[in-house]
């Protein structure tokens, strides 16, 4: 759980210069940011029929970081499928998330035995 908490903190410190236009750009910038902060991060990890965007490891913890330009309700099935495979946590980093995804994460995070987080980068650019 320590790795999960550290990752959430460091990803929340990430402030891109410009809005993200592609998922690959988002992946590259997040990976670079995490490497600069000393995290052991691998990208595009394939296991059987799944492909994880970023996987971060320390001595005995493994956390999945899934990246989306826009997270919407159609992504929830993918996140559900990954959840049991990463008992140390899953972090979804997106530029924007639909209201339904925000709501689901808010409700599930309080009940889930596995740590989960949704980090929406565009909120850092909010005028309000």
pLDDT in tens, 80-117: 888 889 999 999 999 999 999 999 999 988 888 999 99
Query: Which carries the bigger pLDDT value, residue 84 or residue 45?
Result: 84
φ/ψ of residue 97, rounded to 5: -130, 145
- Say what the pLDDT of residue 110 is: 84
Distance, CA of 126 to CA of 50 (rounded, Å)? 34
The upper half-sphere exposure of residue 39, i.e. CA atoms within 13 Å in the direction of its Cβ, equals 29
φ/ψ of residue 126, rounded to 5: -65, 140
Residues 6 or more apart in contact with residue 111 via CB below 8 angstroms: none
* Predicted TM-score (pTM) of this structure: 0.91
- Say what the pLDDT of residue 126 is: 58
The answer to whether 71 and 101 have CB atoms below 8 angstroms apart is: yes
The percentage of the chain sitting over the pLDDT mark of 70, rounded to a whole number, equals 95
Domains and CATH numbers, the chain: 2-125 (3.40.1350.10)
Query: Which carries the bigger pLDDT value, residue 52 or residue 45?
Result: 52
Q: What angle do CA 78, 28, 114 make, to 5 degrees?
A: 35
Of residues 30, 2, 12, 10, the one with CA closest to residue 118: 12
């Amino acid at each position: 759980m320590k790795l999960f908490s550290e990752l959430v903190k460091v990803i929340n410190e990430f402030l891109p210069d410009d809005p993200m236009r592609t998922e690959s750009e988002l992946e590259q910038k997040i990976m670079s940011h995490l490497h600069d902060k000393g995290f052991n991060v691998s990208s595009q990890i394939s296991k059987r029929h799944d492909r994880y965007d970023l996987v971060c490891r320390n001595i005995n913890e493994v956390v999945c970081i899934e990246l989306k330009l826009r997270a919407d309700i159609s992504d929830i099935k993918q996140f559900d499928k990954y959840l049991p495979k990463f008992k140390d946590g899953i972090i979804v980093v997106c530029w924007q998330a639909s209201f339904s995804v925000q709501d689901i994460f808010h409700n599930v995070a309080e009940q889930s035995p596995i740590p989960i987080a949704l980090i929406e980068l565009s909120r850092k650019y909010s005028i309000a």
